[in-house]
A and B are shown apart, each in its own frame.
Chain A
Amino acid sequence: MAKRLLVRGNEAICRGAIEAGCRYYFGYPITPQNDIPEYMSREMPNVNGVFIQAESEIASVNMVMGAAATGARAMTSSSSPGISLKMEAISYMAGMELPCLIVNISRSGPGLGGIDASQGDYFQAVKGGGHGGYHILVLAPASIQEMYDLTMLAFDLAEIYRIPAMILGDAVVGQMKEPLVPHPRPDRELPAKDWALRGKSGGEQRYIKSLYLGDGELEAHNWKLYAKYQEMKAKESRWEDFLTSDADLIVTGFGSAARIAKTAVMMAREEGLKVGLLRPITLFPFPSAAFAERTLRCKKILDVELNTGQMVEDVRLSVARDAEVHFYGRPSGTGSLPTPEEILGQIKKYY
């Protein structure tokens, strides 16, 4: 039997990243993700990797840009305010089509907000939080195993699509401990990095940029990026279906909110209510088709989020025309995490 470890989510991310071949970590301390840089500062030297605690989130994400430009697997992690600071560079890397990983163990806001679990960064993550109209791959793990698996997947998809990837978690999935079964990175064919900077080395000059001033150049570049996003939507949308096939009401939510919702769904089933859970795993690309298809039959959706309503907009855009979408949100702060009983109450209200 495979070895099982009992680790926190943040550690699972680190283990997944190192297993995926990431040898460059650049970060800056912020709660609730400090165990990521701490782990990396300990472990990177053991795998001949590089750890730098940079002078800021801005510097750390730009270091990622540099390492990624050479074709190396590089990552940074932070929490909401720090992610805001990284946004300029993320926009650049989206424009440059540089693969890399950014982890957001998000906290509540706006502003300094608090350190509790929150999903207030959904818009920032999936709508191109920086300037210029772009998307990045966004994955939302809901378990420790997923923190590990999706980190590995993020690196692969980032390279396949030449796009920055983000893991969007929070203090719940970051800090809780659960069993993790580590495993080698699944074999996946990856494209050659014929764009990576290496010094000409007798070949053609290579350069990486995001400035396009020629007539029509930038428009063409944007359409190219758009086509890539469309392809990702078609091929890479991922979600979890839990008891949705016969459901009369489908609860949805991502990450930590989906964990609580799942418990509520099981409680509802015990009471004989036909309730299921549809949990987006990729937030970008959003699994729109899954919602469209499920709501051909099931006309009631209850979306639960730790904010005042963000993913619900994408849910509404995705469901069948005659489906009802209800929302239950708790913009978090200390003592604001909803209980399964609370969500069960909402299920009964709309069932």
Chain B
Amino acid sequence: MHQVFKRPVSLKDVQTHFCPGCHHGTIHRLVAEALDEFGLQQETIGIASIGCSVFLYYYFDIDVIETPHGRAPAVATGVKRARPDRFVFTYQGDGDLAAIGTAEIIHAANRGEHISVVFVNNTTYGMTGGQMAPTTLLGQRTSTSPTGRKPEVEGFPIRMAELLSGLDGVAFSARAAVNTPKNLMDAKKQIKKAFRYQGEGKGFSFVEVLAACPTNWGMNAIEANERVGREMCEYFKLGTFKNTAGL
């Protein structure tokens, strides 16, 4: 017998702290598979952010630095400028990247830093208990928008993949999801493409991945997974928004 599906070597064989059905686990694996496939494990420096994915170093078997909330792209800039020969990626949630770290992501992107960004959009602040995020959908109830997000009070969910694609410094920007096998296979391709951009020295690459947070959405894993397709994919369209090198 031949094992056709196995754990990527860049992903440690340990239990994660993620809740059942949390897509962080899936996205971790896709990132690790991409690292394996391009043979990057030994030359990668991962940049962890603050959120449920803070323990990047416990789950990935790569060098990692944990960074202050929102500042991963700035730290990545420092790492990449000091070690341009290393593969550098950030892994950030939507509170981290699209709220407190907006300035850092926009300017790292605008400078065209040769880094890759994996952005996990789960429409909420997972780690702190389900507060409203900049990506929270209209009408969505969170612990700080208890009657649902209202545009006249809280504004609109922010579409980061589109927003960043408008910057000249960005070489690649895409959005994917992991809620169905088909979407997941596409997500895998988009992550690999983003990594190829850096590997081939083609500039800043960004992949947003829509993700379920069953716990803070008050749903079971199956319901949360369905919500990704039903509500999130409606507002946050999947696709490639920029692909300057046509990879």
Contacts and interface: CB of A to CB of B under 8 A. Distances in A.
Interface of A: 24, 26, 50, 52, 54-56, 58-60, 62-70, 72, 74, 88-89, 92, 96, 197-202, 205-211
B63 A65 contact: no
Interface of B: 41-45, 47-48, 54, 57, 61-68, 71, 74-83, 86-87, 103-104, 106-107, 111
Contacts of B45: 69-70, 197-199
Given A24-B82, A72-B82, A202-B42, A66 B77 contact: yes
Contact of A69 (B43, B44, B75): B75
B18 to A, nearest CB: 15
A167 B80 CA distance: 26
A54 B107 contact: yes
Contacts of B71: 58-59, 62, 65, 89
10 contacts: A55-B107, A59-B107, A62-B67, A62-B78, A63-B74, A67-B82, A199-B42, A199-B83, A201-B43, A207-B57
A208 B65 contact: yes
Contacts of B62: 199-200, 205
A200 B63 contact: yes
Nearest to A60: B74
Nearest to B81: A50
A205 B63 contact: yes
Contacts of B75: 62-63, 65-66, 69
B236 to A, nearest CB: 26
B66 A199 contact: no
A198 B57 contact: no
A89 B42 contact: no
Contacts of B78: 24, 26, 62-70, 74
Given A54-B107, A200-B42, A201-B43, A66 B66 contact: no
A63 B42 contact: no
A62 B50 CA distance: 14
A58 B74 contact: yes
A22 to B, nearest CB: 11
B19 to A, nearest CB: 17
Contact of A50 (B43, B76, B82): B82
A205 B58 CA distance: 10
A141 to B, nearest CB: 26
A207 B83 contact: no
A208 B66 contact: yes
Among all A-B residue pairs, the 7 with the closest Cβ atoms: A66-B78, A62-B74, A207-B57, A63-B78, A199-B43, A55-B107, A67-B78
Contacts of B83: 70, 197-199
A67 B80 CA distance: 8
> Does more than half of chain A's interface fall in helix, strand or loop, or is it mixed?
mixed
B58 to A, nearest CB: 9
Given A69-B45, A70-B86, A200-B61, 12 more contacts: A55-B103, A62-B71, A62-B78, A65-B67, A67-B79, A70-B78, A70-B83, A199-B44, A208-B66, A209-B57, A209-B65, A209-B66
B39 to A, nearest CB: 11
A62 B104 contact: yes
A185 B186 CA distance: 54
Greatest chain A CB density within 10 A among B61, B76, B104 is at B104
Nearest to B71: A62
Contacts of B54: 211
A201 B66 CA distance: 20
A207 B59 CA distance: 12
A67 B79 CA distance: 5
Contacts of A202: 42
A72 B82 CA distance: 7
Contact of A67 (B42, B43, B81, B107): B81
A199 B62 CA distance: 7
Nearest to A201: B42
A65 B68 CA distance: 10
A74 to B, nearest CB: 7
B135 to A, nearest CB: 22
A88 B104 CA distance: 15
A93 B78 CA distance: 14
Contacts of A56: 103
Contact of B81 (A63, A88, A201): A63
